[in-house]
Amino acid sequence: MKKTAIIATLVLATAVVFISCDSKRQPGKIYMPDMAYSRAYESYAPRDSTKFTMDPNDAGNRIFYNNMPAAGTIKRGDQFPFTVPNDSNGLINLSAQVKNPLAPMAGKELEEAGRLFNINCAICHGAKGEANGPMAPKIGGVKSIIAASPGFSDGRLFFVMTYGQNNMGSYASQLSKEQRWRIVQYIRTLEPPKTAAPAAGAAAPKADSAAVKK
Ligand code: HEC
């Protein structure tokens, strides 16, 4: 008798399980609906404003979602973010601590860096990195890169491309971080070869005083 009761209960339980899983369209009674229906939200679908908010201050009351990847998200294969702040301390001191992450380039890679330089920089700075590109007279105040760069750290050159400087805009949206670091290396190839004993009053101190004003 006891056995029959157990078997009957098992059969009944199995039946209930199978019946409840029959169809998602007509689910009947649902126990734990979150298990049956995923809470995945379409990224760009319109959202119920009574449930969702894009205002971070309201995040406690409604679900905060603003279509943006989580802070600190890095694109696959991309380099870590450049966290040096856009101020004079960042320009002169902090950027100097950031090393060029790329291995030295040659051949095709260097050619590619030159191509990027000629497209993005030569229009103002000229193909040799001076201040004589065709746009220079229109922009005004263009400075020679190679006059300054021997006194600039790699990080500082990267900084100027990333944030811009006075009349020069930022190149962060046109050039990936890797491309900007490539251009830094390319600029080094444009510099006049270093002589063993540099002449008095070489470019370095002058370059520093030029940048302090930012
Ligand atoms: C639209 C014109 C323009 C373009 C294009 C341009 N620059 Fe500049 N660049 C300027 C101007 C103007 C300045 C001077 C800013 C200032 O007054 O400090 C400058 C300054 C610089 C400096 C700092 C020089 C110094 O003495 O402080 C560097 C380095 C530099 N540019 C690199 C680049 C690189 C690399 C590119 C290409 C990714 C580029 N620039 C593209 C206009 C341009």
pLDDT digits (tens, 9 = 90+) for 188-202: 999 988 776 555 544
Coil, strand or helix: which one is 31?
coil
Beta carbon of 165 within 6 Å of any ligand 1 atom: yes
Q: In this structure, which residue's CA is closest to atom 3 in ligand 1? A: 124
Q: What backbone phi and psi angles, to 5 degrees, belong to 117?
A: -65, -45
Beta carbon of 172 within 6 Å of any ligand 1 atom: no
In a domain, 79, yes or no: no
If you measure from the C-alpha of residue 171 to the centroid of ligand 1, how many angstroms do you get, rounded to a whole number?
Answer: 10
pLDDT digits (tens, 9 = 90+) for 97-153: 999 999 999 999 999 999 999 999 999 999 999 999 999 999 999 999 999 999 999
Beta carbon of 148 within 6 Å of any ligand 1 atom: yes
- The Cα 168–Cα 6 span in angstroms is 82
In a domain, 172, yes or no: yes
Domain of residue 151, residue span: 88-211
Tell whether pTM > 0.85: no
Same-domain status, 113 and 168: yes
Closest CA to 39 of 74, 21, 65, 16: 65
Token reading at 127: 């193909």
Residue labelled with tokens 């004079």: 88
In a domain, 152, yes or no: yes
